[in-house]
Amino acid sequence: MNQDQLKQLVGRAAVDYVTPGQIVGVGTGSTVDCFIDALAASGVAVAGAVSSSERSTQRLQKHGIKVLDSADVTGLTVYIDGADEIDGNGFMVKGGGAALTREKIVADLAEKFVCIADASKLVQTLGKFPLPVEIIPMAAAQLTRRFAKLGGEARLRAGVVTDNGGHILDVTGLSITDPLAFEAEVSQWPGVVTVGVFARNKAQVCLLGGADGVKTLIF
C-alpha cells in the first residue's frame, strides 16, 4: 500500500470513533481530508463539526456537514487530526499544514485526541521533521536567535500567512527529548503564537496505518 492508501485506511478507521448525533472536532491535512470524505460516505450523521482550518471547513461544507464555531460548544468528545510526527507517548509535532494554532485550540476542547497517521510518522524522538512555530512577524529575528541557542535553525516559511494572519518558522536541528518542558518553555517566548509540539494536548489514541493494516496505539 502506498502512503495515500494508508491515509485513506486510517481516515476510514477513525469514523468508528464518531457517534451519530455528536459534534466532532476536525483537524487539517491530507489524512484528515480522507477522514472527512470517509465520514461523509459512512452515513454516520453527526450534529456538526468544529473545524481547525478554512481548508477543512470547505471540505466539510462541500459534504453537507454543518460547521460550528468553537464558541458554540463547551467541549467535544473527540478530536480527529493527523500529525507530522508522533512518539511512543502520544506527543506530536504538528503544523506542516500551517494550521497548528486552530488545531491546538480545537484539540484543547476535546476529551480525546485521535491521531490518524501512516507508519512513517512514528518516531522515537520528536524533532526530525522541521518544527512549525506560528509567530508574530515582528519577533522573527529574536525567535531565530532563541532557537539557535537550543541548536535549532529557524527559517521563515516563504509566502505563507496562516488563517490567523501569522507567519510560520520551521525549525530544523532540534531533538525534543522532553516535549512537555519544551512546549511550556517556547510557548512563553514573546512573539510565539503557537509552537507545533502537542504535548499538553497529546493524542490518547493513534490509528497508525502500515503494511499490516491499522494498528491502534493507546497512550
Ligand X SMILES: O=C(CO)[C@H](O)[C@H](O)COP(=O)(O)O
- Residue closer to ligand X by CB (options 93, 143) is 93
Q: Does 99 bind ligand X (CB under 6 A)?
A: yes
CA distance 92 to 101: 14
Q: How many CB atoms lie within 10 A of CB 106?
A: 27
CB of 120 to ligand X, least distance (A): 9
CA distance 74 to 108: 11
x/- map, 31-70, ligand X, by CB under 6 A? x---------------------------------------
Per the annotation, the verdict on 111 as an active-site residue is: no
Give residues 68-97 in contact with ligand X (rule: CB under 6 A): 81-84, 94-97
Listing DSSP states for 115-178 in one string gives EEEEGGGB-SSBTSSPEEEEE-GGGHHHHHHHHHHTT-EEEE-TT---TTS-EEEEEES--BS-
Is 90 marked as a binding-site residue? no
Cα→Cα distances 219→32, 79, 170, 202, 205, Å: 21, 15, 27, 9, 6
Is 28 marked as a binding-site residue? yes
Active-site pick, 85, 103, 134, 183: 103
Is 81 marked as a binding-site residue? yes
Query: Site for ligand X (CB under 6 A): which residue of 14, 98, 143, 195?
Result: 98
Which amino acids are annotated catalytic?
A: 103
| Residues near ligand X, by CB under 6 A | 27-31, 81-84, 94-100, 103
